[in-house]
């Protein structure tokens, strides 16, 4: 992908785009809640968004709504 997200940030954004909660992400990605929130904050800055719904829209526009992207 041509964006500047790290692989972990991209994974977290993909999970958000697929509708997972932060708690779901912690369980799927084996990360702590604080780590998930840190990845979300840094990804939002890089994506230029401020809300989860904007992040979902951004993720969909970048093909991150496919569950196979985050396996």
Give the mean pLDDT per block of 10 residues along the chain (71 residues): 82 95 97 98 96 96 74 46
**CB under 8 Å to 49, separation ≥6 — which residues?**
55, 58
How many Cβ atoms from other residues are within 10 Å of residue 37's Cβ?
Answer: 15
pLDDT at site 64 = 87
CA dihedral 8, 3, 14, 34 (to 10 degrees): 40
pLDDT at site 41 = 97
Q: What is the pTM of this model?
A: 0.86
Fold adopted by 7-70: Arc Repressor Mutant, subunit A (1.10.10)
């Amino acid at each position: 992908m041509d964006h500047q997200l790290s692989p972990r940030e991209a994974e977290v954004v993909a999970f958000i785009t697929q509708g997972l909660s932060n708690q779901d992400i912690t369980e799927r990605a084996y990360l702590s809640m604080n780590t998930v929130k840190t990845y979300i904050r840094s990804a939002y800055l890089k994506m230029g968004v401020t809300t989860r719904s904007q992040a979902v829209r951004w993720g969909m526009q970048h093909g991150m709504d496919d569950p196979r992207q985050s396996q």
